[in-house]
Amino acid sequence: MSRARDNASMLSSTQTLTNKTFVAPALGTPASGVMTNMTGAVTASMVDDAVTGAKIENNPTIAGNLTVSGDLVPSSALSNRNLIINGAMTVAQRGTNQTSCSTHGWYSCDRMKLMLDGDWVVTQSQVADGPSGFGYSWKVDITTADASPDAGDILNLRYMMEGQDLQHLKKGTSTALPITISFWVKSYQTGNYQFNIIDLDAGNRIIGGTYTVNVSATWEYKTLTFAGDTTGQLNNDNGASFLLEWWLDSGGSYQGGAVPTSWEAQADTDRMAATSHVRVGNHTDNYWQITGIQLEVGSNATPFEHRSYAYELARCQRYYEKNKPGVVNVAVGTGVQPNGYALYMTYWYRVSKRASGATMTYLDLDYSDGATFTGNIDTTPGASVMGLDSAFIALNESGATYTVNHCVNTTTRNTSSFIAFESEL
């Protein structure tokens, strides 16, 4: 090749290099051009500050520090990416261990509901066991097995989400966004399990996928990505719009179909479709644990978004709030006695509830004016009004001598005393 040919012509031609190393020329700045059909190791170098107006794509890895002068404009949120509340299982207001569970309920970790309809009996608990970086997990342990469940029996973990928290998914539009679920799972039984998302607003549309537990009694990281759904918009309100479910066992009514890998009208036989899926409920050796649940916009799972306990607790209290001081004779509320049989008390929630009409429960409460009388609160409350920010509560009294229209404190009788309000989906 003649030395008279310039750098531009050398770079604009198409060459094939095999097992060669290419070093960018040091003399001058080469003209623009395209190099193709290069194989083997290729090394390029450039001087500092030589790139302007560049576009970085195809998932590069940058070793070292990256300094951005100007605005960094991400395609997805840097914070509040995780749409799951209490995904690290840190909050358990109802308690940490419940034995002999034989029906649906929230038994330990907030927002995580055990769905159980059948002859199984389980222990459901928040356990101090998790993969590196996680202190807790949600666990179901089979204590009474059923290898032949009835057709309508179910055993799964359910998590429900408000529609107003999902509007940015653009579901039901031509620009609907993909979403990715990631989590850590540990199970005694290896094999395939099924996870689904059900849209409760658009005629119960469903999409799902399977994940495989490869090694018994070992924490494994799983991710599933789902396409955006261009059919069926989600209601922009505080009602239930998305239902997430991790199946552990079922009867025949939920089997025999096909895993719904694309959005479709829900068919119950698709929800734990393959009869070859793992059946956790068939033996008392079996258990299943989960933590680090993250649901986010996009086609890739990002590292888990850890949040403070205080932040997660406040988000959980929108759905369930429990005031349990753990100390005797501590006031949980103040009210007045206008007559001979009831105490009327206004209770201000720590966090506004999801909806009015919360369900109230309490245990071992007393009342006292601090001077002339004291007594027990009856286990059956009177007519009460539950608002979004507060509750007007009528508590019936038993066994006391008192003066009408006295100011009265409602107090704890023992360390187990509590008052709680539930506004779950």
pLDDT digits (tens, 9 = 90+) for 280-305: 999 999 999 999 999 999 999 999 99
Q: What is the pLDDT of residue 1?
A: 43
Question: 343 versus 128: which is more confidently predicted?
Answer: 128
Q: What is the per-residue pLDDT for 340? A: 66
Residue indicated by tokens 């494994």: 220
β-strand pairing of 191-199 with 179-187: unpaired
Select the highest-mean-pLDDT range: 249-253, 327-331, 342-346, 408-412.
249-253
Q: Quick one: which of 402, 329, 396 has its CA closest to 369? A: 402
Q: Which pLDDT band, with edges at 50, 70 and 90, does 425 fall under?
A: very high
Q: Is the pLDDT assigned to residue 208 strictly greater than 70?
A: yes
In contact, 179 and 166? CB cutoff 8 Å:
no
How far lies 404's CA from each of 23, 275, 309, 347, 409, in Å? 95, 66, 43, 21, 14
The pLDDT of residue 349 is above 50: yes
Average pLDDT, the chain: 88
If you average pLDDT over residues 387-393, what whole number do you get?
A: 96
Helices (H), 35-144: none
The predicted pLDDT at position 255 comes to 97
Give the model's pLDDT for residue 13: 41
pTM for the predicted model, two decimal places: 0.86
> For residue 25, is pLDDT > 80?
no
Tens digits of residue pLDDT in 355-386: 999 999 999 998 887 766 677 888 888 889 99
What pLDDT, in 10s, does the model give residues 31-57?
Answer: 555 555 555 555 555 556 555 666 677
CA distances, 2 to each of 7, 9, 231 (Å): 11, 11, 64
| C-alpha distances out from residue 182 to 185, 222, 409, Å | 10, 6, 47
The pLDDT, as a whole number, for residue 68 is 77
Is residue 17 scored above 50 in pLDDT? no
**Confidence (pLDDT) at 381:** 87
pLDDT value, residue 219: 99
Distance CA 33, CA 16 (A): 15
Percent of the chain with pLDDT over 70: 84
CB 185 within 8 A of CB 247: no
Check whether 124 has a pLDDT greater than 70. Answer: yes
Question: Residue 42: what pLDDT?
Answer: 52
Specify the higher pLDDT residue, 404 or 389.
389
